Each structure stands twice: as C-alpha cells, then as structure tokens.
Amino acid sequence: MACGSKYPSSPRLFTCPKCGGLLEPFYIDGGSPRGRGVWRYRDLLPRPRRIVTMGEGSTPLVKLENLSRAMGVEVYGKLEFLNPTGSFKDRGMTVGVSIASSFSYRLVVAASTGNTAASMAAYARRAGLNPVILIPKGGIASGKLSQIAALGAWVLEVEGSFDDALDAARAAAEKGLAYSLNSINPYRLEGQKTIAFEILEDVDRVDHVVVPVGNAGNISAIWKGFKEAGLLGLPSMRPRMVGVQAEGASPLYRAWVEKMDSVERVRNPSTIASAIRIGNPVNAAKALAAVRESDGLIISVSDAEILKAAATLAENEGMLVEPASAASLAGLIKLRNQGIIASGSSVVLILTGHGLKDPRALEFIASSAGVRRAYASTAEEALLKLEEIAVGG
Ligand SMILES: Cc1ncc(COP(=O)(O)O)c(C=O)c1O
Ligand SMILES: N[C@@H](CCOP(=O)(O)O)C(=O)O
C-alpha cells in the first residue's frame, strides 16, 4: 500500500504482505447518496451480506453561535457523541461488525481506551457475536467501563498502556483467534469516512476540520472521505485537516514537528483525556499523509487547555463532551490565538465522545465552571433560597 501494491479485497487482509503498511480499500465506480445514516453512502462502502446497524451517522452539524461570535470564526460542531453508543466509533462498527457477521466469525476482539470497546460490544451483541476487549488496567473512564460491563463483554485488563493491549489484540487476531475491530481493520475505517460526506452535505464552505487524534484512524478516514466525495456526486471541497493531540501523548505532533514519516513510540503516555492516551498510533503514516496532503497541521494541547475548553463548550453552547473531544476546541482556541486560523474562516470541530462517559472529568469541569450548590432543610427555606438566587440573577 505505502508501496503501491494492490490486492483483491479479503475480510482478513489488513496489512500489505510486502511492506507491512496498513491497507485501504479503493473504489472504481461511484454512485449516489440515498437513505439515512452511514449506509446512505453504501455505494462507497464494503458490501457485507448482512448489515448490523443501530441507525448510526446522520449526526447534527450545529453552528456554535456563541463561540463563533466570541472567536471571530464560523465554528460548527459535528455532534458525533450523539451516535448510539456515544461516540463516532459506531460509524466504523456498523461496517466492521457487519463484515465479521457475514463471514461467520464468532469472536471479535479490540484493544481499547473505552469507546471502541463500548461500540464493538454493542454491535457484537446485536449481531450475536462474542466481544473480547483488552483495556489498559485502570486506564479507562468509569462510564465506559460500566457500559462495556453492562453489554456483557469479556474484559481483559492489561498491565501497561493501550499500545501494549493493542499489541496483544493484534497478535490474537493474526493467530486467527478472533476478528480484529481496531482501526487496523480497513473496513471499519470506511464507515468513519462518512463524517466527511455528511459535512459536505451540510455546509457550503469548510476551511478547517479539527480532529482529536489518538490511534489516528479517524483523521485518516475523514480525509479519505473528502478525497472520495466526488465519486458520490458531492462537492469536492478539500479542507485543511488539523490533528490535535494531548501534550503527554503526542507522538504524532513530535513526528510532525520533526518532519518524520513515522512516530517514535511514547512509552508512558499520560493525559486526562484517556481516550487519546496512546503512545504508538497505528495509523500514524496515513494520518501524517492526510495532514500533509490537505496542507493542514498537527498541534498539541495541555490537559489544562483541554479542561478549560470542555468547560467553555458547556458554558457557552450547553454541550458536554469527554476530554478527548474537547481537545478539538482547545486546538482551535490555540490556533486562533496564534493567528494560524484566520478570522472569518469556517471551522468544523469533530466532537467525538459524550461527556457522561467520564464522570471524573465532569467533576473537574464542574469545579472550573464554579459549582453552584445550596442546601435547604424545608420547602420554605428552599423558597427563601430561590428568592436570593433570583435577586442575584
Ligand atoms: C472520544 C475520542 N476522541 C478521539 C479519539 C481519537 O480517535 P483516533 O484514535 O481515531 O485518532 C478517540 C479514540 O481514539 C476517542 O475515543
Ligand atoms: N480511543 C480508541 C482507541 C482505539 O482506537 P481504534 O480506532 O484503533 O479502535 C478507543 O476508543 O478505544
């Protein structure tokens, strides 16, 4: 693939036997959008015999009016946290699990920082498959852990980072023990490229698409979508792709700064944004190519900037997202302050995961918003308190 080789599509062929690079499907014929959700773009998706769906995709693209005014740019949020399991991963899982189920796999496997796991578990249950999940011990948000447990998945806690868990999950898939649904699976990423198609159907102009980056599959998939959109008769817009990493887990940012084509593994990635606490992104080469081809860039933001952005989004737009998602707004704020994104630009933030998944992070956000709480021992006292609040405004 990086070497230019082409192969007939096969559900288990993920990497190029010659160069070891991750494969990508390509299409000769186009088509046209019809229906709703991810499968609206079925002419540019794999064609499994059976489709396992929960109506994922068709998420709202909402103008963030207050932030747009304050920042002097047109900011839109793509509300990916409104997908069935609360993250963009569902777009990929409907495709990946449909393939697994069409080819009679019984066991599906993924390493996860939480959202891939929750999504895979849900779609696998619906398809009657058994989900096995490897997580970094103590490394995922409590809401996600409960979500996975409630879906009855097998959870294997691995001492180490997400990257260590992924090494094991990949090895298990290579041995044929289970079908891998991480983003090494090119068919799963095909579902995620539909984010680009939907953006193109919803806005007339987009200059920048800002994406939080962990394992780097999503930014690569979205850019692939922009490149392929013409095949579906959609407008051919090529926005700049902006990848945002958390400072303590930023191998791609470092590779970008040092003008490298591959990343150096960060051994102990650390950030409050557990979803992107990843030190060795498997899609690094594709993501770097996407950013370069689109004339975009990769930046990093601190945990403080991420939490501040999450609180800003909540206070100004009423949206609660998990820290990894807020990294996109933190990135935009930084790029506006540095003058890199010009005023008047049209910017789409990919809001990837729901805030309710990470109650601990919500507490941090609440404290920065200044929690307003009072106690009343009777209804009369409550009324007095309300009168005081009304006077205070
Ligand atoms: C909420 C959230 N945001 C962003 C990301 C980053 O996506 P990717 O791994 O495709 O770069 C992830 C997962 O990695 C995630 O769960
Ligand atoms: N944030 C991800 C990490 C795994 O990424 P994947 O795209 O390779 O599945 C998660 O939610 O687990």
Whether 310 shows a pLDDT value over 70: the answer reads yes
12 C-alpha to center of ligand 2: Å? 19
Per-residue pLDDT tens over the stretch 96-118:
999 999 988 899 999 999 999 99
Per-residue pLDDT tens over the stretch 127-139:
999 999 999 999 9
Flag whether the ipTM exceeds 0.90.
yes
Q: Which residues pair with 210 in a beta bridge?
A: 242, 349
Whether 393 shows a pLDDT value over 80: the answer reads no
Whether 56 shows a pLDDT value over 60: the answer reads yes
Q: Would you say the CB of residue 225 lies under 6 angstroms from ligand 1?
A: no
Mean pLDDT of 68-74: 98
Mean pLDDT of 206-230: 98
Look at 25-34, 56-65, 106-115, 221-230 and tell me which has the smallest mean pLDDT: 25-34
Contact 297, 242 (CB under 8 A): yes
Q: Would you say the CB of residue 243 lies under 6 angstroms from ligand 2?
A: no
Mean pLDDT of 39-56: 97
278 C-alpha to center of ligand 1: Å? 9
CA distance 73 to 336: 9
CA distance 244 to 299: 5
Whether 149 shows a pLDDT value over 70: the answer reads yes
237: tokens are 């817009």
Q: Would you say the CB of residue 271 lies under 6 angstroms from ligand 1?
A: no
Q: Is 7 exposed, middle or buried (0-12, 13-18, 19+ CB in 10 A)?
A: exposed
Q: Cα 210 to chain center, whole Å? A: 11
Whether 9 shows a pLDDT value over 90: the answer reads no
Higher pLDDT, 93 or 374: 93
CB-facing half-sphere around the CA of 43: CA atoms within 13 A: 16
**Sign of the alpha-carbon dihedral angle for 331, 337, 342, 344:** positive
Mean pLDDT of 288-298: 98
- Helix, strand, coil shares of the chain, percent, nearest 5, are 45, 15, 40
Whether 28 shows a pLDDT value over 90: the answer reads no
Per-residue pLDDT tens over the stretch 184-215:
999 999 999 999 999 999 999 999 999 999 99
The phi, psi pair for 53, rounded to 5°, reads -135, 155
Q: Would you say the CB of residue 216 lies under 6 angstroms from ligand 1?
A: yes
Q: Where does the chain hold its CATH 3.40.50.1100 domain(s)? A: 61-86+188-369, 88-184
393 C-alpha to center of ligand 2: Å? 43
70: tokens are 């304050």
The phi, psi pair for 209, rounded to 5°, reads -115, 120
Whether 25 shows a pLDDT value over 60: the answer reads yes
Res 93: pLDDT: 98
Q: What is the per-residue burial (b if ≥16 Cβ within 10 Å, else e) of 342-374?
A: eeebbbbbbbbbbbebbeebbebbeebeeeeee
Q: Would you say the CB of residue 218 lies under 6 angstroms from ligand 1?
A: yes
324: tokens are 């990894």
Strands 179-180, 208-212: pairing kind: unpaired
3-state secondary structure of 63: strand
Per-residue pLDDT tens over the stretch 338-384:
999 999 999 999 999 999 999 999 998 888 777 678 899 999 999 99
For domain 88-184, the CATH class is: alpha beta
Whether 1 shows a pLDDT value over 60: the answer reads no
Of the chain, the percentage scoring pLDDT greater than 70 comes to 99
Atom of ligand 2 nearest to the CA of 144: 11
Architecture of domain 61-86+188-369: 3-Layer(aba) Sandwich (3.40)
Q: Would you say the CB of residue 143 lies under 6 angstroms from ligand 1?
A: no
Whether 42 shows a pLDDT value over 60: the answer reads yes
CA-closest candidate to residue 93, choices 253, 208, 242, 217 = 217
Per-residue pLDDT tens over the stretch 248-279:
999 999 999 999 999 999 999 999 999 999 99
Mean pLDDT, the chain, as a whole number? 96
343 C-alpha to center of ligand 2: Å? 33
Res 104: pLDDT: 83
